[in-house]
Structure 1
Amino acid sequence: MRHLTPLLRPLTSPHTYRRWAHLVIGGALLTPYATAALVLTTLIAQSGHTSDPTQNPSPTTLALATALTLAGIAATAHLPGMRNAQLHLARALLRGPLTQQPAPAATWRSTARTSAFLCLHMFLGLAVCLLTMTALTEAALLATAPLAPGPHSTAQGPLTFTFTAQGPLTRTQRLMGPLLGLLLLAALLYTLALAGHLLALAAPRLLGPSPTERLAAAQAHAHTLAERNRLARELHDSLGHALSVVTLQAATAARLLDTDPAFARQALTHIADQARTATADLDHALGLLREDTPTPRTTPPDLTHLPHLAHATQHTGTDLTCHITGDPTRVPALLSRETYRISQEALTNALRHAPGQPLTLHLDTTPTNLTLTLTNPLPPTRTPRRRTGGRGITGMRERAHLLGGTLTARPHEHTWQLTLHLTWKEHP
């Protein structure tokens, strides 16, 4: 039974019947084009001649009518909205790989491919319509063979005519009629499934984007993913640091509320400042994600905000010494912002893993490079941290690598030392 499942899938798959409907729509759309072209060519052929209107069209007339039909269908593809209408209809009924592809740009090449798809859709649809009408009629006549009174009442089509042309129906023929009708219906469904599958394979090539457009869409998608990952890192760094500082300040304020109310009030003030800073960072990230916001409403922090970051860290009760040498304003904007985020994440890690330990932050900048170093004594009651670090150190290393720099974080004698080094070309 397991081996029969693939063979029976075309009979039970909804794709077969959706694509059948799509092909029937194409055949119905072809009817006015073909009728108008045949009438026009017939009138031209009969112009100046006396002919029998009941006479069948000549091969020349049929060829000319076919050419006019193709020309009319191709011209239809240039109508406004026709390409999008065909694309939506094919996506809804054909499904297949077309649903995962972006819409192509409106160019003369895409319009030409749309014309080819319209011709294929309509002419294949007409063939499917004729096949459907013939097969359904034949199947119905075969199914009623046991009830047929004579040999000629069911002789309406090629199959039933062959079945009954030898004379009156025998008992065996009457009983075989419904079975042959079912086999004919099955053959019809398999044929329709094949035709729909072939049209679904042609749709991405004719209605979908070109290889150049697919490459551009893939690059745009990669850029979007990279931007979202960058925003995720920024939120991780800014909100993680703010929450760590708020946690430490809140704990300190609760401990000193009775013995040192002034310090507790100061800590609560800094908690409010950190909350506002975190809210501004979150507003900046959400502003970038909103499609209706062309530019961020807040400026992301950079190395010029490093003293404020150190000051906020000191108000957690941490002994932080910050040294800045050189001019941070000469650091390129992108490197300045990313270095600030790395500093923020480094301080957050130190507050989490070495609470109460004194920290030393040193930033040295020159016209072509910078070095950021954060050191703190290893906690005496805890084992040294692993060389591989956690997700925070991994994220900082990824940032440094993308910027073309290096970041190391490892124990050094009795201290934990994190060092970032970035270089760039000096602008004239």
Structure 2
Amino acid sequence: MPRILAPLFAAATYARWLHLLVGMVFAGVVLMVYPGIEEGLGVAELLARCVLLDSLLLTLIALLPATRRAEGVQARLLLMPDREERIGIASSTSWVDRRRTAGWLIGRVGLGTLVGYVSLFGMTGVVVLVTESFQGRRPALLGLELPDAVPVLAYPLLAPVLLFLVGWLVVWAGRAQLALAVRLLGASPTERLAEAEQRAEQLLERNRLARELHDSIGHALTVTVLQAGAAREVADPAFVAKALEVIEETGRRAMDDLERTLVLLRDSPDGTAVERPGVEQLTGLFDTARAAGSPVEALVELPPGALPGVLSREAYRIVQEAVTNALKHAPGEPIAVRITVRDGQLALRCANGRSPLGGSRRSGGGKGLRGIRERAALLGGEAAAGWEREEWVLTVRLPLRLGS
């Protein structure tokens, strides 16, 4: 029983009813303007003229781009969908949008007119059933007198039944109106495809930012931990002061990288002007590793301007992650880095010795190496890592022309 009665008392039902009645009002105004109420004009002819004129006017209105937006806003407010985004509020941008908007307007006015007049006759019938019966007259609905077999005073009992039927007509019509709005005012297949592509781009961007944070902050924390541990073990004040200086500089660089990432997350208008580090900043990275106690032998042979900006930035992050892994798994061991351009490819090689704790800890399945492989794959290249004799070697090859 509550399921049957609850929709009749829901706020959404009456909001949708109001939305339907607006359609009836529009049709009524058009009817009063033209063709008007003329004597001798048949109902069928009157209805045909109204339908033709209403459809023509609504189609012309739908050509305005702002109509779709106005209808979407009104539908969200009065039809009360469970999720507002199901009904769009964007202006028309194509002829498909305009055709769908015209279909929505015609359907809205047609359904609203039907429900409005049925509601009007229903309410009138309720009044007739009650007033005529109490005055001792047999009521007539739509010009038809009710059967004589039923006592006159029993007809008021039919009023709640009529109200119930009209109420459920409004409930069903409101739901139909909402479904029509979702179908015709909602996103078109083209818009849904564009939205899906945008979500995919956002996910890729979030993954890229996650890699940025992992590489940058992970490197900074590794260097900081190594420097702090060495300073605690060594009693030389000069060494401690140098370690603290390296920790301060590393922390400052990490803060700069974090700020760059946050600018991207905030979608600031100035975000495009914030530069991320490229291969030109590798010297500072190598100095940080040397200060952490690991000798670095670097050979960077790159012609000026040979690398596109994105390739330069990604190459820096790959080398940063490789150096961080070397510091983490083999602290104090020499690191050899070679970066060259050969056969239209950027070749990166980073090698370091075995960790004093044993090389078995190098499984090759950590997040850092996985991030390097993902970066290389997105740039159309490849990455590999493993033991070569007594060295752990990371090799990466990236095409200079992206997408080739």
- TM-score category, normalised to shorter length: 0.7 to 0.9
Deviation digits for residues 119-150 of structure 1 (CA, Å, limit 9, x no counterpart):
221221121122223334445666x59x9446
Partner of 1:293: 269
Q: 1:129 to 1:249 in 2, by over 3 A?
A: same
Match of 1:106 among 93, 97, 100: 93
Match of 1:200 among 140, 159, 178: 178
Q: Is the 8 Å Cα contact of residues 150 and 168 (structure 1) preserved in structure 2?
A: no
Q: Secondary structure at 1:81's aligned position in 2?
A: helix
Q: Is the 8 Å Cα contact of residues 325 and 363 (structure 1) preserved in structure 2?
A: yes
Instruction: Kindly indicate whether residue 41 of structure 2 is the aligned counterpart of residue 57 of structure 1.
Output: yes
Cα distance in 2 for residues equivalent to 1:265 and 1:243:
18
Instruction: Kindly indicate whether residue 19 of structure 2 is the aligned counterpart of residue 22 of structure 1.
Output: yes
Q: Secondary structure at 2:21's aligned position in 1?
A: helix
Deviation at 1:299, TM superposition (A): 1.7
Using the aligned pairs only, state the percent identity. Answer: 35
Deviation digits for residues 286-308 of structure 1 (CA, Å, limit 9, x no counterpart):
33344441552332112222222
Deviation at 1:309, TM superposition (A): 0.9
Deviation at 1:312, TM superposition (A): 1.3
Letter of the aligned partner of 1:24 in structure 2? L
Partner of 2:141: 157
Q: Is the 8 Å Cα contact of residues 104 and 207 (structure 1) preserved in structure 2?
A: no
Cα distance in 1 for residues equivalent to 2:87 and 2:384:
43
Cα distance in 2 for residues equivalent to 1:355 and 1:138:
91
| Structure 2 unpaired stretches of 5+ | none
Q: Is the 8 Å Cα contact of residues 360 and 376 (structure 1) preserved in structure 2?
A: yes
Deviation digits for residues 7-32 of structure 1 (CA, Å, limit 9, x no counterpart):
77855766544433321233234332
Q: Is the 8 Å Cα contact of residues 330 and 354 (structure 2) preserved in structure 1?
A: yes
Cα distance in 2 for residues equivalent to 1:406 and 1:80:
48
Match of 1:90 among 75, 87, 92: 75
Alignment RMSD? 3.5
Match of 2:32 among 30, 35, 44: 35
Q: 1:185 to 1:395 in 2, by over 3 A?
A: farther
Partner of 1:46: none
Deviation at 1:326, TM superposition (A): 4.6
Partner of 1:51: none
Deviation digits for residues 55-101 of structure 1 (CA, Å, limit 9, x no counterpart):
46335455334433333333333457332111111123332677246
Partner of 1:268: 244
Cα distance in 2 for residues equivalent to 1:377 and 1:121:
75
Deviation at 1:367, TM superposition (A): 5.2
Deviation at 1:110, TM superposition (A): 2.4
Moved more, 116-125 or 375-384: 375-384
Match of 1:320 among 285, 296, 307: 296
Q: Is the 8 Å Cα contact of residues 96 and 201 (structure 1) preserved in structure 2?
A: no
Q: Is the 8 Å Cα contact of residues 62 and 98 (structure 2) preserved in structure 1?
A: yes
Cα distance in 1 for residues equivalent to 2:360 and 2:160:
78
Deviation at 1:311, TM superposition (A): 1.0
Q: 1:365 to 1:210 in 2, by over 3 A?
A: same
Partner of 1:71: 56
Q: 1:378 to 1:96 in 2, by over 3 A?
A: same
Q: 1:222 to 1:159 in 2, by over 3 A?
A: farther
Q: Secondary structure at 1:408's aligned position in 2?
A: strand
Q: Is the 8 Å Cα contact of residues 69 and 92 (structure 2) preserved in structure 1?
A: no
Q: 1:362 to 1:75 in 2, by over 3 A?
A: same
Partner of 1:233: 211
Deviation at 1:104, TM superposition (A): 5.1
Match of 1:81 among 46, 62, 66: 66
Partner of 2:119: 132
Q: Is the 8 Å Cα contact of residues 138 and 159 (structure 1) preserved in structure 2?
A: no
Cα distance in 1 for residues equivalent to 2:362 and 2:386:
8
Moved more, 319-328 or 82-91: 319-328
Q: Is the 8 Å Cα contact of residues 72 and 185 (structure 2) preserved in structure 1?
A: yes
Moved more, 371-380 or 114-123: 371-380
Q: 1:249 to 1:14 in 2, by over 3 A?
A: farther
Partner of 1:168: 151
Q: After TM superposition, list the pairs within 5 Å mapping 1:386-405 onto structure 2.
A: 387-405=363-381
Partner of 2:316: 340
Cα distance in 1 for residues equivalent to 2:333 and 2:167:
77
Cα distance in 1 for residues equivalent to 2:395 and 2:60:
67
Partner of 1:47: none
| Structure 1 unpaired stretches of 5+ | 43-54
Cα distance in 1 for residues equivalent to 2:142 and 2:46:
27
Q: 1:126 to 1:316 in 2, by over 3 A?
A: same
Deviation at 1:234, TM superposition (A): 1.5
Match of 2:224 among 246, 265, 283: 246
Cα distance in 2 for residues equivalent to 1:329 and 1:254:
44
TM-score, normalised via structure 2 length: 0.83
Partner of 2:383: 407
Q: Secondary structure at 2:346's aligned position in 1?
A: strand
TM-score, normalised via structure 1 length: 0.78
Q: Secondary structure at 1:131's aligned position in 2?
A: helix
Q: 1:9 to 1:392 in 2, by over 3 A?
A: farther
Q: Is the 8 Å Cα contact of residues 27 and 50 (structure 2) preserved in structure 1?
A: no
Moved more, 392-401 or 240-249: 240-249
